[in-house]
Amino acid sequence: MTTVAFEEWKTEREQSVAQFQGDLALVGLHTINEPMQVEGIPGTWAPLVGDERGLALTATDTDGISVDGQALVGTVKLAIDRTLVRFSPTLTAVATAQPGSDHLLAVYDADSEAINRYEGISAYSYDPDWVVEAEWISDNGDGQRKMAFTHNSDQEGVLRHHQSPGDIRFVREGVTYDLSPFDSDGSLIIVFGDQTNGRITYGMGRMVLVTPGANGKVTVDFNRSFLPPCAFSYHFNCPLPPAGNRLPFEVTAGEKQVIYRE
């Protein structure tokens, strides 16, 4: 990565969170365990039966709901993070899921207060010293190892188990550290904490994407450390850094905080 590529990534990040279903637009995340109405939006919502992930939506012609651009009268299945439900020019929804919750409804408002107050994301300047060459330590199994993560919106003591197929080992100033990523739709994400959290950077930690190479090596570019979705909307339920991912030094790279107008 070069300074120019970093600035391009930073600009793309600042724009993406303000899109119509960007992180700043989330105004509700609802658990749908039985047929129900959801306050503020029309339709009847229900979980799909059996082990099938996703939701069913039932609407009448007076509800004014469209699904993937087509007016809905009757019942339709909503695929996870794919089927777009629209209620108005700014208000939309999708079925979503996370470990332990297969039937969630995310509601987005492209005219949310957060979007209207948003100015950008503060970040450190690019620093090549924070491009870290590391070793990929596979779990030596079938890739199905799971790790328990606490999430910021769950009750105390509740753990969610994410797939984590291995560890990332690197050395800094003579000390070896192991970080455990989790799998999210085929991408490996490290959620980590460091000594800037709560002072300079977002208090609950940051995230960085990694891609292990076939040669057992992996590059961790901390310049691309990004704020978790819950930094932009308290409706998100984000995994927190496990004890092993809390670094005892400052990572002076990547995103810092969301910037809002007063």
Residue 40 has pLDDT above 80, yes or no: yes
Which one of 86, 109, 132 terminates a domain?
109
Through-space distance between the first and last CA atoms of the chain, rounded to whole angstroms: 34
d(CA 157, CA 249): 27
pLDDT at 132: 96
What is the tally of structural domains in the chain? 2
- Of the listed ranges 24-28, 126-130, 240-244, the least confidently predicted one is 240-244
Q: Average the pLDDT over 250-260 and give the result.
A: 98
Q: Is residue 41 part of a domain?
A: yes
123 and 56 assigned to the same domain = no
Residue 35 has pLDDT above 90, yes or no: yes
116-135: pLDDT as tens digits: 999 999 999 999 999 999 99
Q: Is residue 165 part of a domain?
A: yes
Domain that holds residue 247: 119-260
Q: Is residue 169 part of a domain?
A: yes
Q: Average the pLDDT over 161-189 and give the result.
A: 90
Strands (E), 62-123: 66-67, 70-71, 74-78, 85-86, 91-98, 101-109, 118-123
226 and 163 assigned to the same domain = yes
Please give the radius of gyration of the chain, using alpha carbons only, rounded to the nearest integer: 20
200 and 170 assigned to the same domain = yes
158 and 256 assigned to the same domain = yes
147-169: pLDDT as tens digits: 777 877 666 777 777 788 889 99
136 and 254 assigned to the same domain = yes
